[in-house]
């Protein structure tokens, strides 16, 4: 495992970048700021390595405003309506940072914290921990979070999440990587073919807060139960895809196949497995060309897409959604696997 200095925060804390590699030419870079995955390089169908996530080669990019590139979002990923919820009879008010709502943990979420790193060289893994103080961004309880990134020789990036708390608190952790498997060879990500293993999704209001209904995707532009390119029906979806799908294969909190993505030009394929009940499929609708990242790529609208495995948005206010409440004495555990491969499309 390689470790190098990446920069310093304004408070003077040194940020390091760690590089994991495997036998098949995959390279993953992670920093201890935001537990951010800054880079994933994988071979295409001709064995040519390329960058498949959006991100920056310097810390300044991450210290400036950016839309959660590669970061761990928490304490609660996604939105909580009006930043309010009631737990054990007490109302809590969270930081508001997205219109009227709380998004991805607030003003200084887990994506903007410095994490403590343990290198697990034998497992080709990196362990990052962070303790979020009672009252941070409005959340109750001291919460200790452990995120482990491991890279296997099966070309899997495995992300394991664990957490414990001393007061009951909602928790919803995800990784917010933006993928583009064309690795700089395409205008945007709209040609990626996507399958989502979901029959229903959480329909949202104009502030992207779920109404509580779980309509069927069948017969609509939301249906990715068979392969469709991101772009083929995106114009039928107001604002583009930014929806949480109810996953079919991970109902028992065991790893189940959640998504499969193929980039036809380079043959790169990505499978996503998770223990979580939902996945936010986000088609990079708010990217606007104002950020330039790896290799000078301009991150314009739809340049990357996210597959954020998670609990459903606004769960603390939705009694019918799977619970996100972690209690003292319990251990929060979730895992997600991003598996990289290539598909030789000409042989099909
Ligand atoms: C949300 C989007 C948001 C993006 C970046 C996604 O998880 O669903 O609405 O714009 O994150 O913050």
Alpha carbon 228 to chain centroid distance?
21
For the stretch 19-59, pLDDT in tens is: 999 999 999 999 999 999 999 999 999 999 999 999 999 99
At residue 347 the predicted structure's pLDDT band, cuts being 50, 70 and 90, is very low
Q: Establish whether 178 is an annotated binding residue.
A: yes
Residues 6+ apart with CB under 8 A from 336: 158, 159, 174, 175, 272, 273, 274, 275, 276, 309
The pLDDT value recorded for residue 252 is 75
Domain ranges of the chain: 2-342
Which residue of the set 66, 176, 192, 243 is catalytic? 176
Atom of ligand 1 nearest to the CA of 78: 7
CA 23 – ligand 1 centroid, Å: 34
Question: Is the per-residue pLDDT at 348 higher than 50?
Answer: no
The pLDDT value recorded for residue 217 is 98
Separation CA 54–CA 48 (nearest Å): 18
Q: Taking residues 150-155, what's their average pLDDT?
A: 98
Residue 317, token pair as written in the block: 């206010």
Q: Establish whether 177 is an annotated binding residue.
A: yes
176 within 8 A of 69, measured Cβ to Cβ? yes
Name the region of 166 (left: φ>0; alpha: ψ -120 to 50; beta: rest): alpha
68 within 8 A of 44, measured Cβ to Cβ? no
Compute the mean pLDDT over every residue in the chain, rounded to the nearest whole number: 97
Rounded to the nearest 5°, which phi and psi values hold at 82? 55, 15
Confirm or reject: Cβ of 242 under 6 Å from ligand 1: yes
Q: Taking residues 210-238, what's their average pLDDT?
A: 98
Question: Is the per-residue pLDDT at 102 higher than 80?
Answer: yes
Separation CA 214–CA 192 (nearest Å): 26
Task: Look up the CATH number of domain 2-342.
Answer: 2.70.98.10
The pLDDT value recorded for residue 344 is 74
- As a residue count, the chain comes to 348
Confirm or reject: Cβ of 241 under 6 Å from ligand 1: no
DSSP code per residue over 27-42: EEEEESBTT-EEEEEE
The pLDDT value recorded for residue 346 is 52
CA 113 – ligand 1 centroid, Å: 19
Atom of ligand 1 nearest to the CA of 308: 7
């Amino acid at each position: 495992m390689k470790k190098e200095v990446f920069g310093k925060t304004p408070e003077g804390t040194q940020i390091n970048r760690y590089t994991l590699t495997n036998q098949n030419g995959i390279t993953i870079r992670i920093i201890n700021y935001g537990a951010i995955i800054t880079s994933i390089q994988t071979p295409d169908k001709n064995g040519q390595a390329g960058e498949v996530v959006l991100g920056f080669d310097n810390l300044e990019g991450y210290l400036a405003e950016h839309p959660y590139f590669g970061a761990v979002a928490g304490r609660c990923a996604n939105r909580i309506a009006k930043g309010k919820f009631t737990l054990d009879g007490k109302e809590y008010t969270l930081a508001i940072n997205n219109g009227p709502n709380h998004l991805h943990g607030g003003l200084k979420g887990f994506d903007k914290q410095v994490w403590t790193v343990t290198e697990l060289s034998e497992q080709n893994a990196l362990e990052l921990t962070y303790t979020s103080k009672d009252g941070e961004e409005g959340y109750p309880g001291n919460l200790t979070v452990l995120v482990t990134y491991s890279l296997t020789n099966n070309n899997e990036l495995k992300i394991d999440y664990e957490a414990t708390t001393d007061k009951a608190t909602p928790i919803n952790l995800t990784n917010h990587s933006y993928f583009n498997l064309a690795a700089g060879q395409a205008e945007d990500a709209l040609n990626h073919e996507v399958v989502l293993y979901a029959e229903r999704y959480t329909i949202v209001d104009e502030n992207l807060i779920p109404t509580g209904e779980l309509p069927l995707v069948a017969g609509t532009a939301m249906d990715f139960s068979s392969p469709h390119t991101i772009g083929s029906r995106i114009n039928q979806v107001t604002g583009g895809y930014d929806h949480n799908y109810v996953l079919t294969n991970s109902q028992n909190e065991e790893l189940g196949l959640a998504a499969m993505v193929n980039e036809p030009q380079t043959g790169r394929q990505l499978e996503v497995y998770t223990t979580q009940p939902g996945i936010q499929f986000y088609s990079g609708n708010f990217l606007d060309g104002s950020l330039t990242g790896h290799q000078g790529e301009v991150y314009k609208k739809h340049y990357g897409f996210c597959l954020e495995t998670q609990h459903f948005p606004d769960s603390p206010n939705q009694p019918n959604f799977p619970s996100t409440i972690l209690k003292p004495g319990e251990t929060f555990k979730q895992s997600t696997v991003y598996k990289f491969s290539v598909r030789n499309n000409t042989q099909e």
